[in-house]
A and B are shown apart, each in its own frame.
Chain A
C-alpha cells in the first residue's frame, strides 16, 4: 500500500531525479532504522527486566535449594528438586502425587471449561449477530461478567454457592433437584465444578465477542442463497458458518487455553489450597511462598512453563495444518 498505486505518473518523470532520491532515501532510511531501535530500547529493557531475566532466574533457581528467606544462600543441587532416588525411594516433584493431581486438575479444568466456553460463546455470538430491538443493551449486559475482577466474581459465586445460605442450593432444593444442600466449594466431588462454573460465566463474553467479530465479517450472499434453496438453518450453520469462523475459533481457543492452563485466582479464592482443585500455579505458589521452598517451587514453575510451551507449539502445529486444509475451500 504505497503511494505508487495512487500516482500513476509516467515512469520517465521519475527516472531523472532517481539517483539523488536514492541517496537521500538511504540516509532517511538509516536514520529511521536507528530511531526504530532507539524507540524499541525502553520496551526491550522493560521486558528483559520483568520477563526474560526472571524466567532465566526461575530456571536457575529450580536447580538449587534456595529458600525464600535467604535467596542468596543457595546451593546447586542438580535435578534433586525434580527427581532423586534416596535409599531406594523416589523424591522430588515427579514423585509427588500432589503435583500429578494438580497437573490432572489443570488439564481437566482447561479442557472442560474451554469446551463449554466455546459452545456457549458461539451460541451467544449467533444470538447477538441476529438483528433485534435492544441488541446493544444485551451486548453490554453480556460484557458485564468479563469486566468484573476474577476475585470479585469468585467471591460473588462463593456467596451464591454457600452451602447453608446460598441461593443456588436454595433454588435447587426448591425445585426438588436435590434433597440436601451441597457443599459446593468444600466437597471434593463438586468443588471442581464450582470452579468451572465461575470460569465459564466469566469468560463466555470473551469468546462470544471474538466469534461475533468473525460472524459480522461473513459474506451475506451465501446465506441468502441458502435461504432461497430452503436449507435448514442448523445445516447452514455446520456447512457454511462453522467452517468460515473456524480461524477465529482457533484463535479464541488458544487464548483461552493458555489462560486456563495458568489458572490461579479463581481456584485460590474459591477453594484455597484444597488438593481436589489445586492447579499447577496454585501448587507452585504454595511451595514457593507458603513453604518458602524457592528451589522446589521454581522447579514446579519451570515444569508448568514447559508444559504450556509444548501445548502452544503442538496447538499451533495442528491449527496450522487444519487452517491449510480448510483454507483452500
Chain B
C-alpha cells in the first residue's frame, strides 16, 4: 500500500469520525433525556447509557398532573393563535411592501427590522402596563398579544421576500380583469404563497411555543401558564431535590412534536431561516 493510499484512507476515516462526533454531540443530550425519563426513580441516580429497567412511571406522573395538561393546552392555544394572527397581518402587509411602490415603504421596512432586533426586556415594563390596562394579565390572550412583537416582524420580512419573487404578469392580468387588491391577494397570490406561509407559520409556531420571558412575567397561576414556564418551575418535595425523572418526561413530551416537525420540514425551515437572514 502506498503512502498516498494510506493518507487517503486516513482522511476518509477522519472525515467519518468527525461526522459521528457531530451526530453524537447534536443528539446525545436529547437521547440522554429520553432514557432518563424512561427510568424508574430508584435507578435515576445510576449513570448509564442504556437503562437496565424500563418504566413509564415518570410519564404517568406528569400526565396525570392537571396543571401540566393545562399548560400544554395553553401553549397550543397561544402558539396556534399567534401563527394565525402573524400570517393574517403578515400576508396583507407583505403585499403592500412587496408589490406596491409607495413613499415611506423603506421606512416601514426599516422599522420592522428595528423591532425584530429589540431586546424583549426593553419593552417589559411598558408591555406589562399595556397588558394590565387591557385586563389581560394572567391570561393567555395577553401572551398572544405580546408574542406579535417577535413573530410579526419576522413573518412580514420573509413573506415580503417571497411576495417580491412572484411574477409581475399574474398581477397585471388580475388588474386588467378589474380585480381589487384584496381579490388579487386572496385569489391570485394566496394559492402561490402556501409554501412560504407554511415555512413562516412553522417558525412562528416554534418561537411562540418556546417563549419564556413574557410567559413567566405575564402569568401568575398554574392554570394560565405555558409549557416552558411549567417545566422551569417544576419542583419536588423539597427545594434541594428536583424531580429529574418527571422533568425529563415533560421535556420529552413537549420536544418530540417539535423534533418531528423539524425533521419532516427541514428543507422548508432552512429556506425560511436563510430567506429571513440573507436578505437582512
Contact = CB atoms under 8 A, between A and B. Distances in A.
A40 B108 contact: yes
Contact of A3 (B172, B209, B251, B269): B172
B29 A206 contact: no
B123 A127 contact: no
A65 B119 CA distance: 23
Given A50-B145, A156-B32, A262-B121, A252 B168 contact: no
Interface in A31-57: 31-33, 35-37, 39-40, 42-44, 46-47, 49-51, 53-57
A281 B172 CA distance: 49
Interface in B31-64: 32-33, 36, 44-45, 47
B228 A152 contact: yes
Contacts of B274: 209-210, 213
A248 interface: yes
B125 interface: yes
A147 B257 CA distance: 10
Contacts of A285: 121, 124, 213, 217
Given A142-B22, A149-B228, A149-B254, A71 B123 contact: no
Interface in B203-239: 206, 209-210, 212-213, 216-217, 227-229, 231-232
A251 B126 CA distance: 30
B263 interface: yes
A195 interface: no
Contact of B117 (A132, A152, A308): A308
A294 interface: yes
Nearest to B116: A258
Contacts of B172: 3
Nearest to B147: A50
Nearest to A309: B117
Interface stretch (A92-100, A221-229, A236-244, A296-304): A296-304
A2 B171 CA distance: 11
A47 B25 contact: no
Interface string B84-106: 01001110110111001010000
B121 A281 contact: yes
Contacts of B266: 139-140, 143
B270 A46 contact: no
Q: Interface size class for chain B?
A: 35 or more
Contacts of A49: 130, 145
Given A57-B129, A61-B125, A269 B168 contact: no
From DSSP, what is the main secondary structure of chain A's interface residues? Answer: helix
Contacts, number: 280
Contact of A160 (B23, B29, B126, B212): B29
A50 B123 contact: yes
Contacts of A53: 126, 130
B208 to A, nearest CB: 11
Nearest to A147: B262
Contact of B15 (A124, A130, A264): A130
Given A150-B212, A209-B270, A39 B122 contact: no
Nearest to A42: B89
Contacts of B77: none
Contacts of A42: 88-89, 92-93
B169 interface: yes
Given A205-B26, A213-B270, 19 more contacts: A3-B169, A28-B175, A33-B100, A35-B96, A42-B92, A43-B93, A46-B89, A50-B149, A54-B126, A55-B123, A71-B129, A138-B19, A142-B23, A165-B47, A206-B273, A252-B277, A264-B212, A288-B124, A304-B119
Interface of B: 15, 18-19, 22-23, 25-27, 29-30, 32-33, 36, 44-45, 47, 85, 88-90, 92-93, 95-97, 100, 102, 108, 111-112, 115, 117-130, 132, 145-146, 148-149, 152-153, 156, 168-169, 172, 175, 180-182, 185, 206, 209-210, 212-213, 216-217, 227-229, 231-232, 244, 247-248, 251, 254-255, 258-259, 261-263, 266, 269-270, 273-274, 277-278, 280
10 contacts: A35-B180, A42-B93, A43-B89, A50-B149, A145-B29, A148-B255, A149-B209, A155-B231, A156-B33, A288-B125
